[in-house]
Structure 1
Amino acid sequence: MTVTLEVANLSKSFGGVHAVVDASVSFQPGKVNAIIGPNGSGKTTFFNCVTGMIRADAGTVTLAGHDVTRSSPDRIARLGLGRSFQVCRIFPRMTVLENLLVAVKNPSLTGALGSAKNPTAIAAARVWLRRVGIDHLEHAEARNLSYGQQKLLELAGVLMGDPEIIMLDEPAGGVNPALIGRISALIRELNAEGRTFVVVEHNMELVMSLSDHVVVFDRGRPIAEGDPAHVQADPRVLEAYLGV
C-alpha cells in the first residue's frame, strides 16, 4: 500500500513572525510533488514541522494513517518518510561508506555501531552508492567530496532507510548543472520504482520539468496548487513572485 502524507491547518510562529499559517496540503502518493515560493514564504519551516524537526503550534500531520504531529523525527522515519536538508548533514570525518552505515535503521546505539560490520548493511550501502554514482569514493572522507557529491551522499543516506516518501530541501542548491541532471534522473528513477517525492526547490526549470504536482507557498500558506502548467499560469503565483 502506498504511504500517504496529509497536512491540515498547520501553523508555526516564532515570536511575532508567522512562518506557517493554517497550511493544508495533501501530497499525491506515487508522484513527484514540489513546493515552491519566494524566499521567506515558509517552505523550510513547513518541512521541519512535517518531519518532526520542530513542533507545530497547531494543525495535524498524518503519515500512513498515523497522526505524527508531535512525533519524533526517528518515529516519522520508521513510518516511511526520509528527508534531506538545505545544508548537507553528513559526518565529514567519516568515510563515504561509513556515512551510509550509520544511517541504517537500528533501535539502539549498539545496533547502529554493529551495522559497520554487518555484511548485509555493507552490501546495501554499496548498492546505493553505485545508484547515486559515487561508489568509487567509498573510502574517501566525506569532507573531501565536492558539494554536489555530498548532496548525493546525503541522498544515499536517506535511501538507506528505505523510505516510501522522500522530502528533499533544495536538492539542486549550489550544485553544478551536470550533477543537477544526475539528481533529476535519480528522482525520476526512484519515483518510477514507486517512491513519492516532496521537493522544495528554487530552480524553476527543474521543478517544472520534474514535478507532477506543484504547491505554491506565499507568506506562510499555500496559495495555489496543480500541475506545472496550471500553476505557471495562475495570477496569484505571478503576483507572489513578480508582484504583477
Structure 2
Amino acid sequence: MTTAAEQATGPTGEATIGLATEGLAKSFGGVRAVDGASVGFHHGKVNALIGPNGSGKTTFFNCVTGMIRPDAGRVTYAGRDISGKPPHRIARAGIGRSFQLCRIFPRMTVLENILAAVRPPSPMLLLAPSRHHGDIERARSLLARVGIEHLEDVEARDLSYGQQKLLELAGVLMADPETIMLDEPAGGVNPALIDRIAGLVRSLNAEGRTFIVVEHNMDLVMSLSDHVVVFDRGRPIAEGPPSVVQHDPRVLEAYLGV
C-alpha cells in the first residue's frame, strides 16, 4: 500500500498538489471576501489555512465546496475542474467538510445523524436493518473510531459541543472522502477533546487522507500541520512549513500590524 508520504510527492520529490484554485474571487456587495486567490494544497498532507478574522477563509471554503458560487476563478481537484459544482458533486469528487458551527440534526440520535450522511433523514429509512445493515455497521465503527460509540442512542442536542464536533467528523468520514476540509475543529472545544481531534487527524492522515484545516488555535496548527497557507484580505500572502511561516514578516504584519 502506498503511504501518505509517498502519495504526497511527485517523481522529483516535490509535493503533489491535490486541491488548487486560480484567481478565485467572491464579493458580497462592496466587500471582496475572496480576492483572486490562487493557491495549492499538498496531497496526502495536513494543510492549514490561517489568517486574521475576516481574511476570507470560510468564504474560500464555501466557494471550493459549492456552498456558494464564486464570481470568478477556477477550482481544480486531482486535475479535474470542479468550479461552481454543487456540494453533492464536490462530495462525489472525494472532498468532505465540516463547518464552523456544527451541522447536525439535533432531534435525531447520534446513529441516525451518521446514517443521514448517506441516507435521507427519515428514521424509518435510516434504521431499516434489512436494507442498510452495512451502513449501520459502518456508522457504528466510525462512532467507535471517534470515541462516542456509547452515545449512539442519544439525541444529538444532548451532546456536549465537543462531542458534536466528533459526531460531525464521523459523518464526514461516512462518505469516505479522500480530502477532508475542517473549519475550526478546535473552536469551543476543551483541551482533552482537542487532543483527541488532533490524534484522529494524524491517524487518518497516516492512512492516506489529505486535510485542509482552518483553525485559530496556533499551537494546534503548528504541531499538526505539514504545510501552512496564510490568508489576508481574501488572498494568500505566505505559505510553507509551520516553522517558516510563523516567522514570516508578512504574517506578523497581518496578525499584529507590525
TM-score by length of 1: 0.95
Is it true that 1:95 corresponds to 2:109 in the alignment? yes
Q: Which residue in 2 is equivalent to 1:120?
A: 134
Q: In 1, distance between residues paired with 2:31 and 2:23?
A: 17
Q: Deviations over 1:46-97 (max 9, x none)?
A: 0000000000000000123221111000000011000000000000000000
My pick for the range that moved more, 181-190 or 116-125, is 116-125
Contact 1:64 1:79 in 2 (8 A): no
Q: Which residue in 2 is equivalent to 1:230?
A: 244
Give the partner amino acid of 1:83: R
- Aligned residues: percent identity? 72
Give the partner amino acid of 1:195: R
Contact 1:19 1:220 in 2 (8 A): yes
Which runs of 5 or more structure 1 residues have no equivalent in the other structure? none
Give the partner amino acid of 1:116: L
State how many pairs are aligned.
241
**How far did 1:243 drift?**
1.0
Is it true that 1:72 corresponds to 2:92 in the alignment? no
Q: Which residue in 1 is equivalent to 2:75?
A: 61
Which runs of 5 or more structure 2 residues have no equivalent in the other structure? 8-16
Q: In 1, distance between residues paired with 2:164 and 2:121?
A: 26
Q: In 2, distance between residues paired with 1:111 and 1:94?
A: 9
Contact 2:64 2:75 in 1 (8 A): yes
Is it true that 1:158 corresponds to 2:169 in the alignment? no
Contact 1:215 1:226 in 2 (8 A): yes
Contact 1:33 1:199 in 2 (8 A): yes
**How far did 1:8 drift?**
0.8
Q: Deviations over 1:19-48 (max 9, x none)?
A: 010101110000000000000000000000
Is it true that 1:30 corresponds to 2:44 in the alignment? yes
Q: In 2, distance between residues paired with 1:112 and 1:227?
A: 46
Q: Which residue in 2 is equivalent to 1:170?
A: 184
Contact 1:151 1:171 in 2 (8 A): yes
Q: Which residue in 2 is equivalent to 1:219?
A: 233
Q: In 2, distance between residues paired with 1:176 and 1:111?
A: 32
Q: Which residue in 1 is equivalent to 2:219?
A: 205
Contact 1:172 1:203 in 2 (8 A): yes
Q: Deviations over 1:154-210 (max 9, x none)?
A: 000000000000000000000000000000000000000000000000000000000
Q: In 2, distance between residues paired with 1:137 and 1:80?
A: 28
**How far did 1:115 drift?**
4.9
Structure 1 counterpart SS, 2:100: coil
Structure 1 residues 239 and 110: CA distance shift in structure 2, 3 A:
closer
Q: In 1, distance between residues paired with 2:152 and 2:160?
A: 14
Structure 1 counterpart SS, 2:165: helix
Q: In 2, distance between residues paired with 1:115 and 1:4?
A: 33
Q: Which residue in 2 is equivalent to 1:239?
A: 253
Q: Deviations over 1:94-143 (max 9, x none)?
A: 00000011102x6xx59996453211000000010000000000000000
Q: Which residue in 2 is equivalent to 1:138?
A: 152
Contact 1:102 1:116 in 2 (8 A): no
